[in-house]
A and B are shown apart, each in its own frame.
Chain A
Amino acid sequence: MIDENQKKYWNKNLKYLVMLLGIWFLVSFVFGILLVDELNTIRLGGFKLGFWFAQQGAIYVFVILILIYIRLMNKLDKKFGYNHK
């Protein structure tokens, strides 16, 4: 059976997942695909912004998202005492 601690840990974990996956969806599917034509009217140097998100920006954000996730979870593990092996 699970104790309170486990339940809290899991709920917090789910909260992080929703937040991070929300950003994941936003930069790729929304910025890179659904709103690409609108964003393409804005320019970032030689790039049209929508095109840049689809071929560059989304990938950078993906890397950052995983790094944030690693940090958040390491902290959470520590807080709940799950960081030992």
Chain B
Amino acid sequence: MSIQVWTWILVGITFTLYIGIAIWSRAGTTKEFYVAGGGVSPLANGLATAADWMSAASFISMAGLISFNGYDGSVYLMGWTGGYVLLALLLAPYLRKFGKFTVPDFIGDRYYSNVARSVSVFCALLVSFTYVAGQMRGVGLVFSRFLEVDINSGVIIGMIIVLFYAVLGGMKGITYTQVAQYCVLIFAFMVPAIFISIQMTGNPIPQLGFGGMDESGIYLLDKLDGLHKELGFAEYTSGSKSTLDVFFITAALMFGTAGLPHVIVRFFTVKRVSDARKSAGWALLLIAILYTTAPAIAVFSRTNLIETVSNKEYENLPDWFGNWEETGLIKFDDKNNDGKIQYVADATVNELFVDKDIMVLANPEIAGLPNWVIALVAAGGLAAALSTAAGLLLVISSSVSHDLIKKMINPNISDKGELVAARLASVVAVCVAGYFGINPPDFVAATVALAFGLAAASFFPAIILGIFSKRMNKEGAVSGMLIGILLMLFYMMKFKFDWFQGGTKEDWWFGISPEGFGTVAMITNFVVSIVVSRFTPPPPQEVIEIVENIRIPSGVNEVQEH
């Protein structure tokens, strides 16, 4: 059977499964809609968190990024996993004990102010929208290559599916579809990795395989370093970013991970504080399977790519090259008209352009794996993109229906009315996300990576100080959050969108890239919060009692209906 038939079959089966689960787990109350009723088991929550977390970026783009950046790609590996240590140790248990529905709920109550609540709603919407547009784009990409529908129809199909189970099922539907999506995506990621690892090194475990030898007895990594040197690229295992920048980017990704609202809310869905810790453990374990495999895939596909195309006759290249050329994601420009591909670091001589995003998707084809494996990767990419999109849409809709409408505009709204509002908000959110997926403004791609910087600069300090400092008051937290996020936005606009006179690499403050600047903005937030709070009145007694209460794990209330 052809790749396309296989893809239709696998995508059809998985989509039917997701819709079936959504119908079975419809949400009937706001509590079910926001936190899945609060009774999810730690393992199920760990699975759902892992799927929620691993987006189109993790599944489709990350191994490609590492493949092209070598050691520099480590920032994503350490950043996107290390954040879970912070989540598990510093946030999840306490926020679960607090026991409300959303992150702005915590900020609003802990800082006894609707100003703080509004600021955090604004930050949550900003972070989530920038992130969700990238997911829709991922869905479109998979559809266009594997099912030969155009990118826009792909985005619309994806929208309809997400709309169906996010609107119907809320958090409850999302949780159980995410459990299924984790299984699909991890299977789809691991099968080709294991195949290729056996092919190239004879070792079925990719994590060990990429430290192994090829059939001629040369270590794979040494061989790749050699190839890179030959072609003029930076040595694979050393990279080219400055140590300082690598440090700051890694930190921004870690603290940003711990501050992302769609990840934090997942810990509101379990029963006890100890379950929140356990599910963080499960989540990281399940995520680590993919994250430790990705660098292996990066090495395999990089080596394969160079060996397949470098200095080869264009006429004799395998089929996959032409297939991907049609999507515009591979381009060949025979500058010296010798009919061969010169793939080198020097831009004036280089004749090959390969989009980083296709390395995972094209990898099984490059390695010549059977058609069903290639189709499986497509289904996995869709699972990753859809599961993350759904989690983000829930944050967007609950920010509107719960934090804005219920908590600020109309506190007397009935449970039923709030549920209707939540569903309407998610319909609008899906349409906006779809619009950005179809018409991606240039800044979407740039801002997805920066969503982490924004989360680190705004939420992380406010939540941490809210738990670990009884003295922290609303004046401190609000000014810290505002200055943190504005500083981050300013830096991002200046160096990414060329506003405020723009600037180049040479103008970066302290040599820190916009991706790493979240760390600076976060530190600024901490300093401003602490200084301001020392010059303003301490929080009222009942707030101090909230803090004392969340530090102790026992006496958890069921998540209140309200």
Contact = CB atoms under 8 A, between A and B. Distances in A.
Interface of A: 1-2, 6, 9-10, 13, 17, 20-21, 24, 28-29, 32-34, 36-37, 40, 44-48, 51-52, 54-56, 58-60, 62-63, 65-67, 69-70, 73-74, 77, 81-85
B552 to A, nearest CB: 6
Interface string B191-230: 0000000000000000100111100000111100000000
B288 A34 contact: no
B237 A34 contact: no
A51 to B, nearest CB: 5
A83 B554 CA distance: 6
Interface of B: 66, 71, 73-74, 77-78, 81-82, 84-86, 88-90, 93, 207, 210-213, 219-222, 237-238, 243, 246-247, 250-251, 254, 272, 274, 277-278, 280-281, 284-285, 288, 291-292, 295, 548, 551-556
Contact of A24 (B82, B212, B220, B291): B82
Contacts of A69: 88-89, 277, 281
Contacts of B251: 29
Contact of B85 (A33, A37, A66): A66
A46 to B, nearest CB: 4
Nearest to B88: A66
A6 B250 CA distance: 35
A20 B89 CA distance: 9
Contacts, number: 135
Nearest to B554: A82
Contacts of A20: 85, 89
27 contacts: A9-B552, A10-B551, A21-B85, A24-B86, A28-B78, A29-B247, A33-B74, A36-B243, A44-B211, A46-B213, A46-B221, A47-B211, A54-B74, A58-B77, A58-B81, A62-B284, A65-B85, A66-B277, A66-B280, A66-B281, A69-B89, A73-B553, A77-B553, A77-B554, A81-B554, A82-B554, A85-B556
Dominant secondary structure at the A interface = helix
B84 A32 contact: no
Contacts of B89: 17, 20-21, 66, 69
Contacts of B74: 32-33, 51, 54-55
A66 B237 contact: no
Given A67-B281, A69-B89, A40 B247 contact: no
A82 B85 CA distance: 23
Dominant secondary structure at the B interface = helix
Nearest to A76: B553
Contacts of A45: 211-212, 219
Contact of B291 (A37, A51, A59): A59
B285 A40 contact: no
B548 A2 contact: yes
Contacts of A9: 551-552
Contact of A55 (B77, B288, B555): B77
Given A20-B89, A51-B71, A55-B295, 17 more contacts: A1-B548, A21-B85, A28-B82, A33-B246, A34-B247, A40-B238, A46-B219, A48-B237, A52-B211, A62-B85, A63-B284, A66-B284, A69-B89, A70-B274, A73-B93, A83-B274, A83-B553
